Amino acid sequence: MISTRITEMFGIDHPVVCGGMTGLGTAPLISAVANAGALGFLTALTQPSPEALAAEIKRTQDLTDKPFGVNLTILPTINPVPYDEYRAVIVESGIKIVETAGSSPAPHLPDFQAAGVKVIHKATSVRHALSAERKGVDVISIDGFECAGHPGEDDVPGLILIPAAVRELSIPVIASGGLATGSGLAAALALGADAVNMGTRFMATAEAPIHENVKNQIVANSERDTVLVFRNFHNTARVVRNEVSEQIVEIGERPGATFDDVAELASGARGRANVLGEGRMDDGMWWAGQTQGLIQEVDTVAAVVDKVVADAEEIMTRRLPGLVRD
């Protein structure tokens, strides 16, 4: 068994995390992650209301007696989000671990800290990680350039970003982006991280609440089957290469293009309904990382976690020591 500051802090068996994923972070997947001895996060804003989030937390609690958390992504939206109410539900439901992402978590920290909630904040640069540490978060999840979603604008891959963050921070670091295997876990620990966050790998599991076409496409894809969209809008995002995402890139590169020109194509609701829900793979933008090239099968969450940890242990206890000569 691999013991780190993260496993000890959160009372989990393995230093493996399934961070918040919009549309996927629901009770079936997150309870399976928890039961496998890893740490999963329900996605608060996947639920249409604070009351729905309370029900989803209860549903997860009925499926597992092991630790799990809630992701609260803080972003500007057209329709105001009642963040205070979502936060209150998290606290009142007895959740003790929260993952924040997007804007500064500072407005939410006093209530979380008063309730004894540990906060993990996702960052894409060392400077933003340091800012979050100064504000009082307990853990940083650092996203390398390989990740699905928004990797920031610095284009720094994990092999550099992870040790750079570890060097500057005093709080534990979760490595995120480009991680899907036991060798990745062993490498992240060698770079100083205390755990790994896997998103795309958990999409290709039996329990992930998405269409089988999506899972099979992840297995079929290579590490080259992502594209970067919204570059010219300074909101870079890594998504899966398909007809819609390539069209978004082409439109976004036109002189004078604005986000409004791609908004309909890039609609998250469209991607969740058409792709994740119905399996129409070219009828919406959807998210996955370069780790697609490392995923060779759809399996249960328990099997994925067991293999990742067993492979990492084998590498650290047998292969690497065997390379050292007196």
Compute mean pLDDT per 10 residues along the chain, 326 residues long, and list them.
97 98 96 98 97 98 98 85 97 98 95 98 97 98 96 96 98 98 98 98 98 98 97 94 96 94 93 95 96 98 98 96 89
What is the number of residues in the chain?
Answer: 326
Q: CA-to-CA distance for 258 and 260, rounded, in angstroms?
A: 5
Of 62, 61, 32, 56, the C-alpha closest to 43 is: 56
Domain boundaries, the chain: 5-210+299-323, 222-287
Q: CA-to-CA distance for 318 and 299, rounded, in angstroms?
A: 26
Query: Structure pTM?
Result: 0.95
Measured torsion, CA atoms of residues 288, 291, 292, 293, in degrees rounded to the nearest 10: 150
Measured torsion, CA atoms of residues 21, 152, 283, 224, in degrees rounded to the nearest 10: -100
Q: What is the pLDDT of residue 325?
A: 87
Rounded to 5 degrees, φ, ψ at 107 are -65, -20
Provide the token pair at 189: 């620990």
Q: CA-to-CA distance for 263 and 204, rounded, in angstroms?
A: 27
Q: CA-to-CA distance for 52 and 89, rounded, in angstroms?
A: 10
Q: What is the pLDDT of residue 75?
A: 85
Q: What is the pLDDT of residue 326?
A: 81
Q: What is the pLDDT of residue 262?
A: 95
Q: CA-to-CA distance for 31 and 39, rounded, in angstroms?
A: 9
CATH of domain 5-210+299-323: 3.20.20.70
Q: What is the pLDDT of residue 121?
A: 98
Q: What is the pLDDT of residue 176?
A: 97
